[in-house]
Structure 1
Amino acid sequence: MGRILVTPRSVTRSGHPSLDRLRAAGHEVVLGPAGRQPSEAELLELLPACEGYLAGVEPVSARVLAAASRLRAISRNGTGIDNVDTEAAQARGIALLRAEGANARGVAELTIGFLFALARGLPVTDARMKERKWERANGIELEGKTLGVVGCGRIGRLVSGMALGIGMKVIAQDLYPDASYRPSPDFRFAPLPELLAAADVVTLHCPPLPGHRPLIDAAALAGMKKGVFLVNTARFDLIDPAAIAAALDSGGIAALALDVFDGEPPQDWSLAAHPRVIASPHIGGFTAESIDRAMDFAVDNLLRALAATPAAH
């Protein structure tokens, strides 16, 4: 049995009961810096002595992996592994494990919360009331509006079902659309250009594109309805921030809800500070239930992987 580095911020800040299962299996648990992402220098100091790594969203470079000669498995407490240099990990025979679907409901419910907040301008009206200003904003009702869901996996399907439940119509796009998934006559799959042209609200639930090129750029925005709402709880690099800012200023986009950024905290705060943007600090999967599910999945995956692979000597 060996050392396991644990770095998710929610766990290094306050611990988690699932770590007891690692200790019960004979492993030594090493926590990263409390409540924040470890730097590359900190990973270079902590990881080389570890055989397992329960990782958060911090970047894990080829340099770090090259120094971790004993490392056998990286288990994420989420679904994304694009923060890890996957080629370097695979070249070293390090297993890459994901907590599939663990935070899907948390992200989906945040997305629906964003829809209501955008439709009624809730952050702005709340801020005005706290300033003792009685300023009413004329909102819209979501019933009968069309939601475009880009990426119809676990999160996209949950969002689709919730949106249908409040009377919206849903158009979904997916690289591998499942023709058997037909939750309502008001749901259909369509190619991305058709979705963008028809949607009153567009929400992103897909992985990054090859080369991390933006999905929603100036060309995509030109094909969307004027005054569309946009929600991004997936990846920051799915959007072109300059094109989005210009569309917000012109009214091409009525408002944006954003839970993901180019860094945590962001390197550039200008989009988060825009008056037509609702911003949150990557809280999609930051619910008590999502954290519990993700940690249980991540620990299970790590224990299985370490039991199945020989330790380095």
Structure 2
Amino acid sequence: MTHSHGRIMVTPRSAVGHPAVERLADAGYDVVFPAPGAVPTPQQQRAALADCVGYLAGIEPITRETLAAAPKLRVISRNGTGADAIDLDAAAELGIEVLRAPAANAQGVAELAVGLMLAAARSLPFAASSIAAGEWGRRQGIELAGRTLGLVGAGQIGRRVARVALALGMRVRAYDAYPDASFRPDGDFAFTGLDDVLDQAQVLSLHAPPAARPLIDRTALERMPRGAVLVNTARASLVDDDAVLAALQSGALRAYAADVFDPEPPGRTPLTQHPAFIGTAHIGGFTEESVDRAMAAAVDHLIHGLDSGRARLPDEQ
């Protein structure tokens, strides 16, 4: 009865058949999936985008060339926090709005960070693989209670990690560029400077945005207590892999657990092969609940962004 408001390309692998995505059609848009259940190739991406006004984007790169080939595109909505794969300068020059769903995966990432701390403290991957191999491997662990957790970044994710760590009986010291003074959880918690966090952190968990150069380099690692555990569920660029490998080899670090890599997947490297390294395949936000929240938020943002933009446009053909 009514004409379409335009086409929207949808690429997240988890979007096919998702109820939130069906709301795009209900809102009057034609929805196209260039590669259902898979990450689209650049060719599939550009062919489908050529006449799209909106783009519900997954993890695929979105380059200047791709954006230049999409003359009708007005809004890109990511089903997650990161926009690292999007050429934001090109989008701004072309007048394309980029929206993201920052808090949607906070609980999933926070729970994974705590899980990785526990896995490192008790050498859980070694213990489980030993039993699977028919062996009885035992490594003495450490208890997190009574130890100090350092947080680099105390936003939605870091604050959740802090609450769980405090419940476990840890002290928590947090550095954040813009500390939230209203965050006063029960237990031994304080905001402090980055150097203070490094000096005290027997476990250090990273929850900061990407940095121009690694925050955790040889100098930072030398400040930390010997035998500390490092956990990175944030960005690969925050950590100097070579410095971490050297710290693992010397025993300065007890363990390094990471959910983020550059590139992804990392392949076999001296770091991923080290027995004190625990790696997961960027699964922080990959939970039923986080995926649902992210998808719902991304759809809401896309509909709102296109609707508010259309109010400023002449009648569409």
**Corresponding letter in the other structure for 1:8:** P
After TM superposition, the runs of 4+ consecutive aligned structure 1 residues lying more than 4 A away are 267-270
Give the match for residue 35 of structure 2: 33
Map residues 264-303 of structure 1 onto 2, 5 A cutoff: 264-266=264-266, 269-303=269-303
User: What amino acid sits opposite 2:277 in the alignment?
Assistant: V
Structure 1 unmatched runs, 5+:
none
Identity %: 51
Partner of 1:127: 129
Larger Rg: 2
How far off its partner does 1:266 sit?
A: 2.7
Cα–Cα, structure 1 residues 102 and 262, in superposed 2: closer, same or farther, change >3 Å?
same
- Contact persistence 2:15–2:21 (CA under 8 A): no
Please report how far the alpha carbon of residue 71 of structure 1 lies from its aligned counterpart in structure 2 after TM superposition: 0.6
Aligned twin of 1:6: 10
CA distance in 2, matches of 1:206, 1:222: 20
Instruction: Compare 255-264 and 197-206 and name the one that shifted more.
Output: 255-264
Q: Describe the SS at the equivalent of 1:18.
A: helix
Moved more, 253-262 or 43-52: 43-52
* Cα distance, 1:185 vs structure 2: 4.4
The residue type equivalent to 1:10 in the other structure is S
Q: How does 1:1-313 map to 2 (within 5 A)?
A: 1-12=5-16, 15-209=17-211, 211=212, 213-266=213-266, 269-310=269-310
> SS at the partner of 1:54?
strand
Cα drift, residue 271 of structure 1: 2.8
Alpha-carbon RMSD across the aligned residues, in angstroms, is 1.6
Note if contact 2:166-2:187 (Cα within 8 Å) is conserved in structure 1: no
Q: Structure 2: which 5+ runs fail to align?
A: none
CA distance in 2, matches of 1:294, 1:78: 6
CA distance in 2, matches of 1:202, 1:298: 31
Cα distance in 2 between the residues matched to 1:157 and 1:266: 29
CA–CA distance in 1 between the matches of 2:268 and 2:26? Answer: 43
Residue 303 of structure 2 aligns to a residue whose secondary structure is helix
Residues 253 and 32 of structure 1: is their aligned pair in 2 closer, same or farther, counting only changes over 3 Å? farther
- Return closer, same or farther for 1:280/1:36 CA change in 2, 3 Å cut-off: farther
The structure-2 alpha-carbon separation of the partners of 1:299 and 1:104, relative to structure 1 and needing over 3 Å to count, comes to: same
In the comparison of the two structures, how many residue pairs are matched? 309
